[in-house]
Chain A
Amino acid sequence: DAKTTQPTSMDCAEGRAANLPCNHSTISGNEYVYWYRQIHSQGPQYIIHGLKNNETNEMASLIITEDRKSSTLILPHATLRDTAVYYCIVRVSLGNQFYFGTGTSLTVIP
């Protein structure tokens, strides 16, 4: 089952950075942190993942605390199309399925 805790909902002004927090205090050393999002009822979309280092790609940045007990997904310049439910997932190494929690519903406001 899901091992993460996320706020139920957040708002962000268009053009501003959206910072989505996630707690995963029971994470183990070999567990990765993944972020997915789901726009309306579409299939979940991969955003980014990391183990212990901060990561950045064309969509977002992932900041993982040194103790790995929490992380933050950053969307640097939120647009209206970023309105979605964002899921933070921990996954044991590579080869196990993902367990989705309830996620954070992000609303980007014009």
Chain B
Amino acid sequence: EPEVTQTPSHQVTQMGQEVILRCVPISNHLYFYWYRQILGQKVEFLVSFYNNEISEKSEIFDDQFSVERPDGSNFTLKIRSTKLEDSAMYFCASSDLGGARDTGELFFGEGSRLTVL
């Protein structure tokens, strides 16, 4: 069964450093998403991406965050200058909206745990 894959599974970084989290969505999907979950808290929407541009973003997704689809397979989340409060699990998701199975279902990856020291 096709799946969303994320790397790295865990990254430890120093405050102020740049971090790039990578995702490979399911190949025929058109919509891509990033969510985050701070330990013990709910899953929070960050950003959605379609047709090579951001379609929606939350208040959390400020100027420190950016997303990119650098090639036909990868979808990345960059945090320019990490803060302690960026420590969280980051989930990538993709969807085949408009595709043959058009259920609106989001397929999530297993997450990248970011620890900022």
Contacts and interface: CB of A to CB of B under 8 A. Distances in A.
Interface of A: 32, 34, 38, 41-46, 49, 87, 91, 94-103
A46 B111 contact: no
B97 A41 contact: no
The majority secondary structure among interface residues of chain B is strand
Given A97-B45, A100-B42, A44 B91 contact: yes
Contact of A94 (B43, B44, B102): B102
B106 A42 contact: no
A43 B42 contact: no
A5 to B, nearest CB: 14
A42 B91 CA distance: 9
A97 B104 contact: no
A94 B91 contact: no
B75 interface: no
B10 to A, nearest CB: 11
Contacts of A41: 37, 89, 111, 113
A34 B2 CA distance: 21
Interface string B9-20: 000000000000
3 nearest A-B residue pairs (beta carbon): A43-B108, A100-B43, A94-B104
Interface residues of B, number: 27
A97 B42 contact: no
A41 B93 CA distance: 15
Contacts of A87: 43
A34 B95 CA distance: 14
A44 B56 contact: no
B45 A99 contact: yes
A43 B111 contact: yes
Contacts of B93: 43
B76 interface: no
Contact of B106 (A98, A102, A103): A98
B105 interface: yes
18 contacts: A34-B104, A41-B37, A42-B110, A42-B111, A43-B93, A43-B108, A43-B109, A44-B43, A45-B108, A46-B105, A46-B106, A91-B104, A94-B104, A95-B97, A96-B56, A97-B56, A98-B45, A100-B45
